[in-house]
Amino acid sequence: MAKVLIVYDSLRGTTKKIAETLEKQLAAAGHQVTVNKGGKVTAAELEGADLLLFGGPTYHKDLIGTMKQFLFRAAEAELADKPGAAFSSYGWSGESLGILEDTMKNQFRMQLVAPGLAVKQTPSLAKIKAAVEPFAQEITGKL
Ligand SMILES: Cc1cc2nc3c(=O)[nH]c(=O)nc-3n(C[C@H](O)[C@H](O)[C@H](O)COP(=O)(O)O)c2cc1C
């Protein structure tokens, strides 16, 4: 059993549904999953997880502001070689995923264990579940 910490934010609910679906699927695979919405986590909480999943939507071709602030907080933690992956939701351009992954890889020196998940905005929980499933399975295979 691995300790997974999911940190995300969402304005209109799609990224929230992705995070909650991930939580359910990883918990069903036997992992201990903690979810934080809004990014107010401590360096100790980040360092104490075996796997970190960071998620956020794109607004105005940028990562949502609360997650940008979170990345500054995360920069205070020692995350080198920590396994992680990113997830996002978007409407058309989807810059948030690349911003999260670039920062995790280049600034925090984390190990990205799966290509990031980008889900196009949808009210359909079934579509979100179908998109999350292979991502969760790939991550679970690395734990
Ligand atoms: C005002 C506004 C600006 C947006 N800007 C972008 C954008 O620049 N690029 C993009 O891919 N999607 C954009 N979107 C779409 C959102 O990324 C999409 O609705 C996403 O699912 C929202 O995630 P959330 O429900 O977790 O907040 C925008 C949506 C709104 C309402």
The pTM of the whole model exceeds 0.95: yes
Which residue, by CA, sits nearest to atom 29 of ligand 1?
A: 59
Q: Which domains does the chain have, with CATH numbers?
A: 3-142 (3.40.50.360)
Closest C-alpha among 26, 63, 112, 131 to residue 34:
26
Q: In the chain, which residues have pLDDT < 70?
A: none
Q: Give the per-residue pLDDT at 142.
A: 85
CA–CA distance, 29 with 14 (Å, rounded to integer): 23
Rounded distance from Cα 43 to ligand 1 centre (Å): 29
Q: Give the per-residue pLDDT at 4.
A: 98
- Residue-wise pLDDT tens digits, 48-72: 999 999 999 999 999 999 999 999 9
